[in-house]
């Protein structure tokens, strides 16, 4: 992927110089037309994702060793400290991305503005395991956490400055993505054995912002290199202990996902 981006980087550096020598069939140099128009294209790149996972609202009810031992209905003393200490973490994933885009832009003098929508596959997932500390009042907990996201779509405005066949631009707007989270903690050696297990699977709405450079290398054809930062906000969901007698042994799981995309694309204007 680094080699691919490097090759496109070289193309964008030398492209404007080469553009001056390009010609249409018959040998006549072609004039760079206005950027005004609508276009469709494809893109290919890489994506990273960071899921910030935090566990909160862990109620303690003063039970003896174990989870909910005795006549209480919640976690043993110490759970609100030892569980977040082990579970709070950032899960990082990376992978391939690819898809297509459609947009329209208008040029006035050197300024260019418009809008673009895209959708693409994102190969994002990550997981981790951890063990919480055992104390005099609570046994160790076996923790697993994971996230995944398989598609991303954005609807963004574009504002740029054209220098002949080269367009520098910024972009920002709304982002949509499917996101799956799953958390679990189990207490296999507790007096009352069981687990807190929960997951969330939803389409998240957030924002995307970034910028790029686009080069028109032939009439109606252009290539671009682009970076986007995506923030999909925080998802909250609760887990309950598997033994229904312990109604207060619940955990609130808070996940905040951000993504970084670097991609190259090919557009044709019509």
Q: 72, exposed or middle or buried, with CB in 10 Å at 0-12, 13-18, 19+?
A: buried
Q: Compute the distance between CA of residue 229 and CA of residue 208 in angstroms, rounded to an integer.
A: 6
Nearest in space to 169 (alpha carbons), one of 231, 117, 214: 214
Task: Taking residues 59-76, report their average pLDDT.
Answer: 61
Closest residue by Cα to residue 136 from 188, 61, 66: 66
CB burial of residue 25 (10 Å; 0-12, 13-18, 19+): exposed
- Residue 227: its H or E element: strand 221-240
| DSSP at 25 | T
Mean pLDDT for the stretch of residues 233-254: 93
Looking at residues 175-203, what average pLDDT do you find? 95
Average pLDDT of the chain is 87
CA distance 103 to 138: 57
- Tell me the percentage of the chain whose pLDDT exceeds 70: 84
Structure tokens at 259: 């993504």
Residues in the chain: 270
Query: In the beta sheet, which residues pair with residue 117?
Result: 102, 155
Compute the distance between CA of residue 265 and CA of residue 225 in angstroms, rounded to an integer.
6
Which of residues 27 and 141 earns the better pLDDT score? Answer: 141
The yes-or-no verdict on residue 24 having pLDDT over 80 is: no
Residue 7 has what pLDDT? 35
Residue 223: its pLDDT value, please? 98
pLDDT of residue 73: 80
Residue 206 scores a pLDDT above 60? yes
Residue 15: the pLDDT is 42
Q: Is-contact 152 259, C-beta < 8 A?
A: yes
Quick one: pLDDT at residue 269? 94
Residue % of the chain over a pLDDT of 90 = 74
Q: Does the pLDDT at position 154 exceed 80?
A: yes
Residue 5, pLDDT > 60, answer no
Model's pTM, two decimal places?
Answer: 0.84
Band the pLDDT of 33: cuts 50, 70, 90.
Answer: low
pLDDT tens digits for range 90-112: 999 999 999 999 999 999 999 99
Q: What is the pLDDT of residue 178?
A: 96
Let me know if 24 is exposed, middle or buried by CB neighbors in 10 A (0-12, 13-18, 19+).
exposed
> Which of 22-26, 218-222, 223-227, 230-234 bottoms out in mean pLDDT, i.e. has the lowest?
22-26
């Amino acid at each position: 992927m680094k080699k691919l981006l490097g090759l496109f980087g070289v193309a964008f550096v030398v492209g404007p110089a080469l553009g001056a020598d390009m010609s249409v069939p018959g040998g006549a140099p072609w004039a760079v037309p206005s950027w005004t128009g609508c276009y469709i294209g494809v893109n290919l790149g890489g994506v990273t994702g960071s899921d910030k996972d935090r566990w909160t609202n862990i109620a303690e009810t003063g039970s003896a060793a174990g989870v909910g031992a005795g006549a209480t209905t919640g976690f043993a003393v110490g759970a609100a400290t030892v569980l977040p200490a082990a579970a709070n973490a950032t899960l990082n994933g990376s992978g391939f991305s690819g898809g297509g885009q459609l947009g329209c832009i208008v040029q006035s003098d050197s300024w260019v503005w418009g809008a673009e929508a895209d959708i693409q596959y994102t190969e994002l997932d990550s997981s981790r395991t951890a063990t919480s500390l055992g104390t005099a009042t609570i046994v160790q907990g076996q923790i697993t956490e994971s996230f995944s996201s398989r598609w991303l779509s954005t609807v963004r405005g574009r504002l740029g400055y054209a220098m002949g066949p080269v367009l520098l631009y910024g972009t920002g707007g709304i982002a949509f993505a499917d996101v799956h989270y799953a958390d679990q903690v189990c207490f296999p050696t507790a007096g009352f054995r069981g687990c807190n297990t929960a997951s969330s699977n939803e389409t998240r709405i957030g924002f995307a912002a970034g910028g790029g450079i686009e080069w028109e290398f032939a009439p109606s054809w252009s290539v671009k290199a682009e970076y986007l930062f995506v923030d999909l906000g925080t998802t909250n969901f609760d887990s309950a202990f598997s033994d229904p007698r312990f109604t207060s042994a619940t955990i609130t799981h808070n996940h905040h996902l951000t993504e970084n995309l670097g991609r190259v694309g090919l557009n044709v204007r019509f």
